[in-house]
Amino acid sequence: MRRRLINSTLAVVLVVIAVFGVSLVIVETRTISSSAQESVDSEALRIASIVDSRLVGGEAVDAGVLADLSGAKRYALVRIPGLPPLEVGTRPSGSVIRGLAEGERGETVLVEESRSVVTDEVGRTLMIIAAVALLCVVAAVLLAVRQANKLASPLTDLAETAERLGSGDPRPRHRRYGVPELDRVADVLDASAERIARMLTAERRLAADASHQLRTPLTALSMRLEEVAVADDLDTVREEATIALTQVERLTDVVERLLTNSRDPRTGSAVAFDLDEVIKQQLEEWRPAYRSAGRAIVRSGKQGMRAVGTPGAVAQVLAALIENSLMHGGGTVALRTRVTGNQSVIEVTDEGPGVAADLGARIFERAVSGRSSTGIGLAVARDLAEADGGRLELLQQQPPVFALFLGREVRSRSERESERPVR
C-alpha cells in the first residue's frame, strides 16, 4: 500500500510539473527572446539619437566617440550619407539578432548581437526550472512517504488489533492516529474488545462458579448413593433415595440459578420461607462428612424464623460456609440463628485457627484464599446473598464467625394468631 500511495502521489506531481514546466519553459523562452530583441532595438535608437545630436551641433562623428557616448556593448554599423560607414565593436558570427533604426538626417544604425547570448540565458533559465522541478519531486517523494506511513501504519496496526481479537486477546489498545476515519475504526475495535472481554470474563466466571457450586451437591449426592448401595434395609434405602432426590432437585435449582445469573446477575426470586427447614436440610447433608472427619456440626439459637430470600440460594451460601469450615476450620461447627432488627441472622463458626489478619478485608474477593483452594466459594456465596437483598459478612476472624443477614418476614398479629393451633 505504501508503494501505491507513493507512486500515485509522485505520478500526480510529475504530471503537474510536466504541464506547468513545459508551459513555463515556452513562456520564458519567448520572454527572453523578446527582451533581447527589444534591447537591441533600444540600443540602435540610442545610437541614432546620438548621431543626430552630433550632426545638428556640427560635431565630428567617429567610431570612438560613438562607443564612448553610447556605451555600446554590441556591434553597431552606422551609415551617414556622404560619409564612410562607421563600425563600433566586433561583428558577431553565426546567427544574430538585428536592430535597425533611422535618424532624422537619413543616417541608419544597424545593431547586431549573437543569438548565443539568448541561448545561454534560456539555458540558465531551464536549469533553474529543472532544479526547482527536482526539488518539487524530492519534496513530493518525502511528503508521499510521510503520508503513506501515516495511512499505512495505522492500517497495519488496526489489522494487528483485529488479529489479536480473533486470537482471543481482547485487550483494547486505545490508540488514535489523527485521521477521523481511522480513529472511528479504532473506536469500534476498542469497543468490540471491551465487549468481548466482558463476555469472556462472564463465561469464565460462570464456568468457575458452576464447577464450584456443583461440586458440593454432587459430593453430597454421591455420598447418599453410596449409602443406598450398601444399605440392606428397605426403609433405609427409601429414606436415602428420598434424600438423594431432594439433592437432585437442589442440584437442578443450582444449575437453573447459574444460568439465570449468567443472563442477568440482578435477577432474584426472593420469597418468604422457613429458615429452619433450610438449616435442617444442610445439617442432614453435612453430618456424614463431618462424622467421617471425626467432627461435629450443631445448631443453636432462635427457631421458627421465616426469612425473605431464595431457599436454594440460602442453602448454597450455608453449604459454602459449612464446607469452608470443614476444609479450613477445626473442632465443632455451630450454626446459630438470631434476630436483629428486621433481619434474620445465621452465624457459622468453628473452633479452628480462624482467618489470617492480612486476609480479613479481602476474604470475599475472588482468587483470595489462605490455603490451597480456589478462592471462589466465599465470593460466590456473597454474590448469592446480595442477589436476594441480603449480605454476607465476616464478623470475627479468630475464632471465625461468618454471618448471613436476610430480610425477616413481618407478619400481622391476625396472621400470627391464625397460625396458633386450635385447642
Return per-residue pLDDT of the chain as tens, 423 residues: 667 777 788 888 888 888 888 888 889 888 988 988 898 888 888 888 888 888 877 777 777 777 776 666 788 888 888 788 888 888 888 888 888 888 887 888 888 888 888 888 888 988 998 898 889 888 888 888 887 777 777 777 778 878 877 777 777 777 777 778 778 888 888 888 888 777 777 666 666 666 666 666 677 677 767 777 777 777 777 777 777 777 677 677 667 666 665 555 444 567 888 999 999 988 888 888 888 889 999 999 999 899 998 888 888 889 889 988 988 889 999 999 999 988 999 999 999 888 887 776 678 887 666 555 556 778 888 888 888 788 999 998 888 999 999 998 765 444 445 445 544
The answer to whether residue 80 is domain-embedded is yes
pLDDT at residue number 371: 57
Residue that finishes a domain, picked among 86, 121, 138: 138
64 and 190 both lie in a single domain: no
Domain with 48, as residue range(s), is 2-138
Identify the H or E element spanning 333.
strand 333-340
C-alpha to C-alpha distance for 288 and 223, rounded to whole angstroms? 8
309 and 272 both lie in a single domain: yes
The answer to whether residue 261 is domain-embedded is no
> Dihedral, CA atoms, 211, 213, 215, 221, nearest 10 degrees?
-140
pLDDT at residue number 319: 87
Record the cell numbers describing residue 205, joined without a space: 466466571
94: left (phi over 0), alpha (psi -120 to 50) or beta: left
- The whole-angstrom distance between residue 299's C-alpha and the CA centroid of its chain comes to 55
CATH number of 343's domain: 3.30.565.10
pLDDT at residue number 213: 63
The answer to whether residue 230 is domain-embedded is no
The answer to whether residue 240 is domain-embedded is no
The answer to whether residue 145 is domain-embedded is no
Domain total in the chain: 3
Burial of 415 (0-12, 13-18, 19+ CB in 10 A): exposed
C-alpha to C-alpha distance for 73 and 47, rounded to whole angstroms? 12
195 and 122 both lie in a single domain: no
Record the cell numbers describing residue 354, joined without a space: 480462624
CATH number of 55's domain: 3.30.450.250
pLDDT at residue number 339: 93
C-alpha to C-alpha distance for 58 and 52, rounded to whole angstroms? 10
pLDDT at residue number 423: 44
pLDDT at residue number 392: 92
The answer to whether residue 288 is domain-embedded is yes
406 and 284 both lie in a single domain: yes
The answer to whether residue 157 is domain-embedded is no
14 and 63 both lie in a single domain: yes
Angle at 282 between CA 336 and CA 292, to 5 degrees: 100
296 and 404 both lie in a single domain: yes
pLDDT at residue number 206: 63
Residue that finishes a domain, picked among 156, 185, 205: 205
The answer to whether residue 190 is domain-embedded is yes
276 and 405 both lie in a single domain: yes
* 317 touches 279 (CB < 8 A): no
134 and 180 both lie in a single domain: no
273 and 394 both lie in a single domain: yes
13 and 122 both lie in a single domain: yes
193 and 274 both lie in a single domain: no
Which residue is it, cell 440460594?
Answer: 313
